[in-house]
């Protein structure tokens, strides 16, 4: 992983440990990292952290976001409520690459209880390295935007 993207991270308690590992890896790779928390392993509600990360991405304060909870499901449901956010729950590197290339996903959701740290790091690498292909995919993403309420 190497790059200089502005990446904002958030989690709940069930994603806290994995978030810490991914934040460290992203910083070491040279990305500009913002960790909205939690900063201690205490019980919190995932929609609160999904909101902070989603707003940072939607408002252009970050290029990409990463959200980690137990399964990644609650984070992805929450993040996709925000206009301008296209959150993808990814279990494989291929999904992460395709989510960027075809869907222009701007938030990656991961589940600490689902994906081990090595795989999660590889998924993050793939997500940060890939770019949107545009073309016919841009037409479709424009339709997603047009359907936002
Ligand atoms: C927390 O126990 C858990 O429900 C949460 O992290 C997440 O998996 C929800 O989707």
Q: Is the pLDDT of residue 1 over 70?
A: no
pLDDT digits (tens, 9 = 90+) for 71-106: 999 999 999 999 999 999 999 999 999 999 999 999
Percentage above 70 pLDDT, the chain: 99
For each of the domains in the chain, give its residue range(s) and CATH number, in order of start.
6-147 (3.40.1400.10)
Do 42 and 13 form a contact (C-beta atoms < 8 A)?
yes
Active site (catalytic) residues: 69, 102
54-60 contacts: CB < 8 A, separation 24 or more? 54/78, 54/79, 54/81, 54/82, 54/85, 54/87, 54/107, 55/82, 56/8, 57/8, 57/84, 57/85, 57/106, 57/107, 58/82, 58/83, 58/84, 58/85
Query: What's the 11 CA to ligand 1 centre distance in angstroms?
Result: 10
Q: Which ligand 1 atom minimizes the distance to the CA of 74?
A: 10
- What pTM was computed for the model? 0.98
Does ligand 1 have an atom closer than 6 angstroms to the CB of 1? no
């Amino acid at each position: 992983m190497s790059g200089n993207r502005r990446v904002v991270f958030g989690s709940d308690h069930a994603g806290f440990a994995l978030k810490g590992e991914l934040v460290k890896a992203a910083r070491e790779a040279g990305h500009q990292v913002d960790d909205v928390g939690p900063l201690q392993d205490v019980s919190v509600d995932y929609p609160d952290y999904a909101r902070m990360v989603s707003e940072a991405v939607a408002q252009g304060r970050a290029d990409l976001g990463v959200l980690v909870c137990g399964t990644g499901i609650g984070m992805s449901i929450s993040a996709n409520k925000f206009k301008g956010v296209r959150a993808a729950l990814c279990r494989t590197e291929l999904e992460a690459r395709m989510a960027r290339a075809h869907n222009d996903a701007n938030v990656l959701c991961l589940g600490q209880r689902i994906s081990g740290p090595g795989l999660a790091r590889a998924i993050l690498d793939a997500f940060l390295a890939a770019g949107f292909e545009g073309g016919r995919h841009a037409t479709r993403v424009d339709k997603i935007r047009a359907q936002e309420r």
